[in-house]
Structure 1
Amino acid sequence: MTHAVRTPGRPGVFLTRVMMIVLALCCATALRPLHIQAAEAPVIRLSGPPVAESLPFAMMSGMTFDDPAMTIEFTPWHSPDQIRAMIAGGQVDGAIVTTASASLFYHKGVHAKLAALFETPLWIVSTSEASETDLEDLSGTILFPFGHKEMPELLFNALLGQGAPKINRHHTGGALEAVNLLLLGKGHHALLAEPAATLAVMRSKEMADKGAPLLERHLDLRTLWKKKFDGKPLYVSGFALFGNTLDNPAMVRRILEEYRRGVEGISANPEQALAMAENSFPALVAQSKDGTLPGVDIRVTSEPQAFSDTLFFLDQLSRQAPRATGGDLPGEDFFLVTQ
């Protein structure tokens, strides 16, 4: 007679399986809050052009902050048309743009605000034989980054007022093209921000043995503006907000705090700062020299007086090109006070 044989259980194996199930459940429980936390942290999309002021934002790309929670994503822009399309398409929450562009979108009905202003260093870079001390005396050919009636030329015209120097104007695709044309002897002056202005001077010295003209930072437009307008600072660009994502003073205040830490970090360790921005903004890092970004002089403010000075600047622009700023001056809701 055949009997069924009962195999004795193996309690060790059974307990191991139970423990594995319990651990799996515990892990799932532990991970769930982290997933929810990550989902609740909004991605803040920032953008900026290849100028020194963009470097701290590029350094922040990919970072996640708490209180308030946010993750920073940085995308560079390389032409006025590109950033205008990004803003119109709702692809950016905050960007370094000209104050005129921010005003233009404000008047077009876009939810646009300025949270901070930059006293951007802007130079007339000239060949070394230039001796003029005012814009009215410039001669030869001046190169403007970007097209007709874009900010470089608008600023030039605002400083000139009624003066009209006997100078030819040539528009280029951007600052680096203007620098290259100067080095090729196809222009006598160019209106440049940093680091392009200092980079042009440095490259001219390196290429002197190849026949390139020596260049120098000839006229400081910030100084000329203060001279012309009773000491008022020049606020050509600012950190603008678009849409409702950053309509939150606490969030913007935190972004600006991190921005200022980035400015300090650039001074303390420029090589590390460039390394942090290499993936998010290679075109800006490519302008570095000997491990630093030339000509860095970042001045950022959110003081109420700066907002008033910005309205003065926009008024000067609108007098000679009303469509560039959208017509009338923006109202008080154009500025987001974060103090």
Structure 2
Amino acid sequence: MKSFQKGLALCLGVLLTLSLAACGGKSQTETPASEEQFTPAAYRIAALKGPTAMGLVKLMNDSDERMAAMLDSSKPYEGELSNTYTFTLAASADEVTPALIKGELDMACVPANLASVLYNKTEGEIQVLAVNTLGVLYMVENGNAVSSMADLAGKTIVAAGKGSTPEYALRYLLRENGIDPDTDVTIDWKSEHSECVAALASGAATIALLPQPFVTVAQTKMENLRTALDLTAEWDALDNGSALLTGVIVGRRQVAEENPAAVDAFLADYAASVDWVNDSAADAAALIARYGIVDAAPVAEKALPHCNIVCITGDEMKEKLSGYLNVLAEQAPESVGGKLPGDDFYYGAQ
């Protein structure tokens, strides 16, 4: 994961310059109270390659364009004073969480259960800001042996995401369908989803648990690869009062408490980015490919409708996420960090 220091220094320098210019150009009586309450912030944000980064891509592009305009010495910046963002992409949550805990990141997209683990590990210093991805997990197969969860008995499944949402969702669904995940199936854990795709492509595996957009990527490499099971549909069929969630964005509590107006502005920017991505698949896919989140725009465009990208905040976030975490905690307390998070875990919720 690349260093943030240079990008952050630029962001802070630009904000300071613009803030001083704004102070010099207006008297105190000319500045509306609403402007005085909002102080733009420079945030360092990490996302995982996949749906979480896909939902952020419009904001990433807008931020880059705004930063270029701010730093253009040939003409004065005429845009509004707003937050600036430095983004980085990571292949796995393991690359992200140490930097977040150390304060080298302000926010990060992580698996939903990991947010609770981090809250408990840091004694409440990590808060969840929004749910950003609903269910995106699928069982894919080179063959026709699997049409139900029961058909997985005796099979070998390659998967990535051990210790996070993919593992706990899979184990829960197997158990609820009468299959012991420790004895009735073999789960071959890989470090990254791309390794699962490679195993399928080489013939080393025939069944894999994959999220979007990796399902679509794999299908471009293997003509006969089919989607055997939609784990979101399998979860919904249990009618357990919860929904399968994949990802959230979290932030350090100190960041939120120091400048809640700036955090709220970020969430508004994030929601606008998600709406644009969902409404403008072709244009979004081009940006997704440009930022290297998915290798090819046609693949990204094909995957987008299946990625369940959202930006759910406040009370609705709390309702959906707490229900999901409750289900996980009942089967494996360690999946949420030993205990459910307190109400202060949910930023902006009552």
Normalising by structure 2, we get a TM-score of: 0.74
Displacement after TM superposition at 1:121 (Å): 1.8
> What pairs with 1:64-83 in structure 2 (closer than 5 Å)?
69-83=82-96
Alignment match, 2:277: 266
- Hey, which of these two has a bigger chunk of helix by percent? 2
Displacement after TM superposition at 1:275 (Å): 4.6
Contact 1:107 1:330 in 2 (8 A): yes
Contact 1:198 1:217 in 2 (8 A): no
Q: Give the Cα–Cα distance (whole angstroms) in 2 for the partners of residues 226 and 203 of structure 1.
A: 30
**CA offsets per residue over residues 269-319 of structure 1, 9 Å max, x none?**
44543454556x42x131543673624432332252442332232222233
Displacement after TM superposition at 1:263 (Å): 2.8
Kindly indicate whether residue 342 of structure 2 is the aligned counterpart of residue 331 of structure 1. Answer: yes
Q: Aligned to 2:298, which of 289, 293, 300?
A: 289
Q: Give the Cα–Cα distance (whole angstroms) in 2 for the partners of residues 84 and 302 of structure 1.
A: 21
Contact 1:46 1:74 in 2 (8 A): yes
Alignment match, 1:244: 254
Alignment match, 1:15: none
- Pick closer, same or farther for the CA change 1:237–1:104 going to 2, 3 Å: same
**Identity percentage of aligned residues:** 23
Contact 2:45 2:86 in 1 (8 A): yes
CA RMSD of aligned residues (A): 3.0
Kindly indicate whether residue 186 of structure 2 is the aligned counterpart of residue 168 of structure 1. Answer: yes
Structure 1 residue runs of 4 or more that deviate by more than 6 Å after TM superposition = 65-68
Q: Give the Cα–Cα distance (whole angstroms) in 1 for the partners of residues 342 and 252 of structure 2.
A: 16
Displacement after TM superposition at 1:241 (Å): 1.3
Alignment match, 2:215: 197
- Pick closer, same or farther for the CA change 1:268–1:105 going to 2, 3 Å: closer
Normalising by structure 1, we get a TM-score of: 0.76
**CA offsets per residue over residues 133-190 of structure 1, 9 Å max, x none?**
125644421011144x333112111222363163221111211110111122212221
Contact 1:196 1:287 in 2 (8 A): no
Which structure has the bigger radius of gyration?
1
**Paired residue type of 1:163:** I
Q: Give the Cα–Cα distance (whole angstroms) in 1 for the partners of residues 137 and 22 of structure 2.
A: 41
Q: Give the Cα–Cα distance (whole angstroms) in 1 for the partners of residues 95 and 22 of structure 2.
A: 30
Q: Which runs of 5+ in 1 are unaligned?
A: 1-31, 206-213
**Paired residue type of 2:335:** A
> What pairs with 1:295-310 in structure 2 (closer than 5 Å)?
295-302=306-313, 304-310=315-321
Say which is worse superposed, 134-143 or 218-227, in terms of deviation: 134-143
Displacement after TM superposition at 1:94 (Å): 1.5
Q: Which runs of 5+ in 2 are unaligned?
A: 1-15, 24-38, 68-78
Displacement after TM superposition at 1:37 (Å): 5.7
Q: Give the Cα–Cα distance (whole angstroms) in 1 for the partners of residues 199 and 212 of structure 2.
A: 17
> How many residues of Structure 1 are paired with residues of Structure 2 in the alignment?
297
- Pick closer, same or farther for the CA change 1:100–1:36 going to 2, 3 Å: same
Q: Give the Cα–Cα distance (whole angstroms) in 2 for the partners of residues 81 and 326 of structure 1.
A: 16
Q: Give the Cα–Cα distance (whole angstroms) in 2 for the partners of residues 258 and 138 of structure 1.
A: 45
